[in-house]
Amino acid sequence: MFTSFLIKYAEIGIKGKNRYLFEDALVRQIRIALGRCDGEFHVHKTQGRIFVDALSEFDFDEAVEQMKTVFGISGICPVVVVEDKGFEQLARDVIAYIEKVYPDKNKTFKVAARRSRKDYPMDSVEINMEMGGIILDAFPQMKVDVHHPDILLTVEVREKIYIYSEIIPGPGGMPVGTNGKGMLLLSGGIDSPVAGYMIAKRGVKIDAVYFHAPPYTSERAKQKVVDLAKLVSRYAGPIHLHVINFTDIQLYIYDKCPHDELTIIMRRYMMKIAEHIAEETDCLGLITGESIGQVASQTMQSLAVTNEVCRLPVFRPLIGMDKQEIVDISEKINTYETSVLPYEDCCTIFVAKHPVTKPNLGIIKKHEQNLSEKIDELVQTALDTDEVIVVE
């Protein structure tokens, strides 16, 4: 019965010019999301509202599922749109609406009229009163509850009249494309896809880099990362995934540095390379899935030593979260199942039995001097052989 949706969005603090940018980006992202569904849709902005009208047959559930991936949407309201043909006709339309949407009439309700067109002959209080009375007459089982109604029946009088009562929650956040671009260090684990999702939720477009170590890491491990990028891109939009061959760098570090410092030195080179690609692709920061204390390389001391190589800000949206909280989000965004597939990632191959948990920057830097002969060349080769996969 529904052929239109009213889109609610939060972040109402956004004013002036930024509000237009926000709304235009939201319209654009809704169009892209609905482009993935069968059917034709008209997405438009009118008087500070965004509406979606279906212009052809469409699958309601599929359209809603797609819109639930659009950051910036706080609520999706299926709405019945009627022409203004006088109050009596409107009352008949409202009764028909309740008849269809609520087969069980054992409910409390409240009418919330809004009149944005001041030439309508009744004001909102009058509409509430009159309509309430008509509903009670039509459905004697229903009762009014002005504080906690089961049904908040909204009637918005504009050029046309909009009737709705259901709000399907959207993902919140801000439309992707309103806040620049970031470079996500994406591994095959649980954390980094969640980190990418969380930063994209703030309107940031995402590119990604994956450090691959063939033959120590398999093609399937790489495919898993591509699959994860695809799942994140449902929300974040197309992702340019840079696959960097890290094997020779890892082997060189393994050869030249103390094994308990391997992970931390490796992570410093990952950050360095990621930053290089970020700067070349106009990314304004790096994004990782690190969380304080989760593993040896994520103690405060380790994070400080890793961070030291970067000029760009490093965003770590999971920094204060427990593993279970991260898992909950990964389940919600559907990356968990893929993340727990058992393919090696490049860090688990070379891990020491007892990695340092309190690395000292001076000592690490001193040991990195062991790499001075070949490391620049190896880093350059890794950058030169960057394989870019566009994931959408």
Interface ranges with ligand ATP (CB under 6 A): 185-187, 189-192, 209-211, 270, 288-290, 294-295, 297-298, 345-347
Partner from Mg ion, ligand ATP, none binding residue 177, C-beta < 5-8 Å depending on class? none
**H-state helical runs in the chain:** 16-34, 60-67, 87-101, 124-138, 191-200, 219-236, 247-256, 262-280, 300-307, 323-332, 336-339, 346-349, 361-368, 375-384
Specify the residue, 165 or 298, whose C-beta has the smaller distance to ligand ATP.
298
Closest approach, Cβ 345 to Mg ion, in A, equals 5
Single out the residue of 154, 165, 178, 187 in contact with Mg ion (rule: CB under 5 A): 187
Q: How many residues does the chain have?
A: 392
Partner from ligand ATP, Mg ion, none binding residue 261, C-beta < 5-8 Å depending on class? none
Specify the residue, 78 or 189, whose C-beta has the smaller distance to ligand ATP.
189
Closest approach, Cβ 345 to ligand ATP, in A, equals 5
Instruction: Please give the helix or strand (H or E) that residue 206 lies within, else none.
Output: strand 205-212
Closest approach, Cβ 275 to ligand ATP, in A, equals 13
**Alpha carbon distance 302, 183 (integer Å):** 21
Report CA-CA distances (Å) from 152 to 107, 235, 280: 11, 30, 51
With tokens 């204390």, the residue in question is 293
Peptide bond into 103 cis (omega under 30): no
Backbone phi, psi, residue 169, to 5°:
-65, 135
Q: How many CB atoms neighbour CB 288 within 10 A?
A: 28
Ramachandran area for residue 111 (φ above 0: left; ψ -120 to 50: alpha; else beta): beta
Partner from ligand ATP, Mg ion, none binding residue 132, C-beta < 5-8 Å depending on class? none
Candidate segments 94-102, 181-189, 235-243, 350-358, binder of Mg ion by CB under 5 A? 181-189
Partner from ligand ATP, Mg ion, none binding residue 290, C-beta < 5-8 Å depending on class? ligand ATP
Report CA-CA distances (Å) from 313 to 182, 186, 201, 297, 381: 10, 17, 18, 19, 25
At residue 28, the 3 state secondary structure works out as: helix
Closest approach, Cβ 246 to ligand ATP, in A, equals 7
Closest approach, Cβ 78 to ligand ATP, in A, equals 37
Sequence letter at residue 182: G
Tell me: does residue 297 bind Mg ion (CB under 5 A): no
Partner from ligand ATP, Mg ion, none binding residue 211, C-beta < 5-8 Å depending on class? ligand ATP
**Alpha carbon distance 233, 228 (integer Å):** 8
Closest approach, Cβ 298 to ligand ATP, in A, equals 6
Tell me: does residue 189 bind Mg ion (CB under 5 A): yes
Partner from ligand ATP, Mg ion, none binding residue 23, C-beta < 5-8 Å depending on class? none
Closest approach, Cβ 178 to ligand ATP, in A, equals 23
Specify the residue, 127 or 185, whose C-beta has the smaller distance to ligand ATP.
185
**250 and 263 Cβ atoms separated by less than 8 Å:** no
Partner from Mg ion, ligand ATP, none binding residue 317, C-beta < 5-8 Å depending on class? none
Contacting residues toward Mg ion, per CB under 5 A: 187, 189
